[in-house]
Structure 1
Amino acid sequence: MDIDCNYPEQLLGQHLLTFPSPLASPAQIISKDSSTPLSPTSTLNDTSFSPPSTHFNQTLSALEISHPLKPKSSHKRKRSAHERLLDDLENIDQHLQSICSDFGSLGNFLRLLFWHPRVTRNEDLCYCFHKRSICNFLQGKSSVKPVHIIRKIYSHPNSYPSWQSNNATEEAAKAFSLDLDPATIKYARPSLSAWAAQTCATRAHRELNRLTKNDPNHPEDTPARISIDSVTWDEINSITPARTIATFKRRAPYVEGLFRYLAEPRKSGKPIPQVYRPTDIVIGSPWSSGPTLVIGHNRFANGYLGLPLGIELFSTQTHSDIKRILTRMGLSISDQATRRALQTMTAKARDKMLAETVKKADKGEVARCYMLDNVQRNYAVHEGGLLVKPVMKVGCAATAVKLEDCEEGAWDLSDYLSRVAQNRRSTMTIHELWNGIDWQNHYSAQTLYRFRAHPVAIHRIPNSRRTKIQPLGTNSEREVEIHSMKRCIKDFDAQIGFTAAGADDSLLEWVGGNPNTGDGASFAAILNLQKYLAPTSLGNRETLRNKIVTLEIWHAKDKAMKAIAEEHFGPPSSSDPSSLSKLYTVAGLKRPSNPKQCDHYPTLRGFEMIWIAQILDCWRLVLGVEDLQAYFSNLDTNLLPSLDTLMSKAGIVVQKYASVGGYNRVISSSRHSGVKIKELRVELGTPWVSSSVKNPSPEQSNQPDSKMTDVDSFDGDRSLANSILFKMQFGSLLLLRYAIQDGDVGRVIQQLKVG
């Protein structure tokens, strides 16, 4: 609010009569009324500086007179900071009186001070010194920056209404208003806050409008608009949270920064990192920044969230009511648009797949393999508005997998048939399989379970490779039936493009079961087809001689786990310390009622818990300590064992307690006494004998061929041998599991040999 300093002479005279003569100078008033003197380092730029007392302000406002200049002293002494402040305030008072006298008000003076032509081509009427001073000030070339002045105005006690005023609530409510004109707000603080809020809102609105359009100069950005009639799967698969956040940072830095500030929890003004809910994901989610607001600005901006979410809702078979709600909320596109986009993407992907298959076949290579399995679903059949009965609809589904990193000639059918004709598999023995295992690598892998480099890895898929899959059209055939399986293969071959790749059928094609589900029926049905069609004179494709079939790896793990359960559980009430039934009781786990048909994942978690506990106990024995955790906790930092020491100890643990050699050494006392390496010798413990052996029943005593009669002749440690077998077998299962997770094809093949 501008203050007019041109007071009439009558008012000046009244004020002269009000105060005693001689009048006190501002320096005397401040020295008398100021309760806290300024420190030598205080300046006008300090935000903590408090202005002089109210009495001094009222006195300076009333006394609109020019103070006489102080007489110059013959001796100049260095003034203190407090004295300089008093002199500066006195000079300001004099200059303000002159400014108000010449320009009418302080506000009018500031308006003229920062006057500039509205258009740059117009003539600037300011004088040189004026323009140069304002330029240096606005460009930050002076010690006092414009923000210091704004902060002083904003934090001044007179810039907002006092709580004692009648319109305090009304005026304070105008702060940060997005509707009111800041010029109509009287007080400085609410007016400045409203202006800042409107400026930021305008900036955010401009950035959101920018996000609704594609930027052809930056192909790395997530596309804002994707045409439903020309969308491809590559465009959908390329949309990632990281790419979207990078797009927001480049195209809408203010909006992204604002929502990042709001999304991050803060302590003492510093953001707290979030592990389970990363800030980037929260910003890119529909509940925060870009996607929802952008779709609200333009419904065609479907790239950030609308189209991907619509496809996700369709694939998960979300209820139509939920789809409608999310569409109204601006989170997803309509179900009809999603179906049209899926049809477009499927047609383009199929054409691309056919072209790649033919192109690869011309070079003697195979582009894809496919995995098939049965599918079924219950449908409710209604007749006359009443539910008659649920009907099970069955079919066969397949997924094409793109093949990469294949050696030249790997899919040569003639070479494969020549090796099959040799029938070397009929002469394969267990000893040949045993000798084909790289036991050094196997023991190294047991020592370094989760290591992915040499000497553990054999043939690992590169980290940069991502398996590309493509669903094929589902048919209504039954995979367990011979004729249906033949029609299934013909259908899937045509969809991938094998039948169009060439008439000679000189390439080998890979067919497998679903790697996660199924019971091996697909594998058995294809083998039966090859067996029945082999004596015919049909071509390679009709007789399926060009097909190589593999069983699901998941079933290999499941069968191995059930074999371990059947062998090591024993009776439910077993007291054998190596029995899994006894260990399950000690660990508080529930024993499966039928170990031959136990649930996969609960049993796997129970085995892993017991295996880890046994391995840690083996470490305790090798290190010769009572409490492993207390040993390492009390160990000095400088005395911690090196990696090489731990590696050598781990090798001893494997050779002693989880290997075939360790099993053979404890199964017989003669073999145990013949061990020459001291570290591999096992200390003899208290022998355990079953209660049924100690106190045999009359029926058992009368049976001369009873298995209990070999107790006297057996001189090994049966419980320890069973424990070693469990650690060795389940350890191999864990190696197979980790090899699958790491994508190490070579280790998978080796563990299948070991199993």
Structure 2
Amino acid sequence: MLMLSMLIVIWLVVCMRLLPNELWRLWLTPPLKNLQTKVGNGQKQYQVLYCFVLDNIQEFLCVWEDGIGLESCMICGCAYMAIGLEDCAEDAFDFMDRFMRILKNEHTELTVSKLHTDINWDHIQYTQSLHVLHALTSFVPSLQPFKNIISKAFCIKFAIHRMGKGILPEQASHLISWFGGDYGSVLAMDTAKKYLATMYNPEDPESDYKNLHNQSGRLTYLVAGVFRLELKLNDYNKINLYFDALANEAALPTYEWFIEKAEQIVDRYMMPDAYEQVLLETLNNSAPKHLKFPVSEPFYSWRSTTATTLAGTNQTPADDESGEVKDGDADEDEPVAQSSKEKKAAGHIETAGFTGDHVLANSILFMMEYSWWIEATYAIPEVGAGNTNYVNLLLEMYCLFQYKSSKNLKDAIWNNWLVNVTGELGKWIPDDLL
């Protein structure tokens, strides 16, 4: 069967090179006519049944036989794919409604302040509270049962327009991912596999740990510290003991209790107002009691410093007459060095006259911006962070939904934002199918 399939593919390639364009047109005409008929029937009822996705295509034509004036060349063009639309209201694509909205020219009044005002801060707060709970469950093993509830809340309760890929991690870990593509795509995948095989060293897992996990680890540490304050514990390491004791007695708080605490933490430690409040004493004094930061003595962490002196002298190794540290193997008869440990306070000292807290302000900024970053990476994956074209496209999209579209048109666009090619529940992919 494999040999037969290969022969069929070779035959098709030869036919594509040898058969005249007229024959290809005969083969392609019936499906195109069928598409034109369906589009026409929809227009007769003033309905839009298809959208069209455009993309550029390239093909490198090789010259198989030498000849005068013949040489290989790259042919570039443009093609589109027709995709059927679903769940659209009858007047979703009404031309006059959209045309009149464009004539109003309201998008020219868009400012940064209006863009900021239009942000759904309640939804952002709810989403951040779930990230807080996710970080806490990562830190406390006895809270693992809440992870499934948090995941469902991400997908159902706080999802504005829910669409999933349809692939569960439990299934993906037991299956082989099979990829196919054109010649260039296969070469690119082979190159990626070679880089992964040579660049990653499983004997040194720390080489990628710092890059991949230090940010999420810091968020987990900060969330644990905040929960320590909420629970009135004097050490964040006691959080595990606290919840372990409750778990052993089957007395863990409910999910509603955790989400309420998480929302309070977001209000107090992960919002722009909190950042401004912690830098200005007057704002902190006028804040509500549940949002006010307590004022106390500066906190210092203690670090150990080691001073090594040569036995019988007051010199450290660097204080040698030559000004250089001697090699330990050079003189084996040297007296054994003595080591003394001394604890010194290490902490940030604020400038005179400043009544705020820069350390806490930096922690608030990190928790706030990192939780936003997580949402941004989920919303717009696989794009260049420095590509300003995406910023322009997002602004144009915002203007389309805010000023130039009716509610039915917005719903129609979002309902068809992804495409389900297989027809199976949850298997959605981007509409760029070319």
Q: Give the TM-score, by structure 2 length.
A: 0.47
Which of the pair has the greater relative contact order for Cα pairs under 8 Å at 6+ separation? 2
Q: Which has the higher strand share?
A: 2
Higher Cα Rg, which structure: 1
Q: Give the TM-score, by structure 1 length.
A: 0.29
